[in-house]
Amino acid sequence: MEIIDVLKRYNFSEYEAKIYLALLKQSPMNGNNIAVQSGVPSAKVYQTLPKLIDRDVVFLMNNGTPSGQKFYSPLPWKELLKNLKDSHKDNMGKMENYFKNIQPRIEEDWSRLYHMEGYEANVDLLKQLINKAEQSILFSCWSKEFLLLKDEFESAFNKGVDIKSILFDPKGIQEFLWEGFGHHQGRFTNERHLGELVAVFDQETVFVLNMESPPHGIISSHAALVKVAENYIRHDIYINQVINDFGDVMKEKYGDEFEDLLHKF
């Protein structure tokens, strides 16, 4: 296949290229499924994956079970091209033409708890989840991440998905096409929510992203976790609406930063 020959010019072995292409087409997958989809022998798959992980071309996930079953997800192809362009200028057209025609299939069953490392990989998965949503999205985050996901959110809204959201800082609120909410601004916002993103899709799937080093995310369709995340976001919206309506009264009772209340917990 021509694309494999092109990737080999950019320091991919044939096995590495086949594994990466298989993961672009379907992810996450475990090593055995990668072997089936890529045509690479299982033993070679497990020898090759650590090399791809070391180069940040593939990211390791696990399902949170005691057995520690491992799953793998690829670096988004646009990020791969950006990295390669820093040192290589040729053959980009061939790869871009190939990659843009791949239709990724997102894993349907997230009933277990999965862990994914890497900021770009998590943002890419979030985009896929937003695009896949059919009924509702409930999310809380900072403006930086919202603006990275803005196009996907607007596309979902325009196709009829009900969106409710709260931002921890005010920069992106004016960009909302839907009714959105802003978090009360104070030092406790940074202390308690810094680097946080929580989203629930179609009341079925929860995604939590933590930007602390190293950035990492978790995703699950476990009913209890979905309910906790929904209640967490809704409660934050309710409380901040109350603060907006009765802020002076609350400051008089609890202090300008509501410290007399917040210090209890």
**Which domains are delineated in the chain?**
2-106 (1.10.10.10), 114-262 (3.30.870.10)
pLDDT value, residue 36:
93
pLDDT value, residue 153:
94
pLDDT value, residue 11:
87
Q: Cα separation of 36 and 52, whole Å?
A: 18
* Best CA proximity match to 202, nearest among 124, 110, 112: 110
Residue 153 · residue 207 · CB < 8 Å: no
Q: Cα separation of 220 and 218, whole Å?
A: 7
Count CB atoms within 10 A of the CB of residue 246.
12
Residue 201 · residue 130 · CB < 8 Å: yes
pLDDT value, residue 240:
75
Instruction: Report the chain (265 residues): mean pLDDT per 10 consecutive residues.
Output: 86 94 93 93 94 93 69 92 75 78 66 84 92 94 91 95 88 73 66 82 94 87 91 86 71 63 60
pLDDT value, residue 107:
58
pLDDT value, residue 262:
60
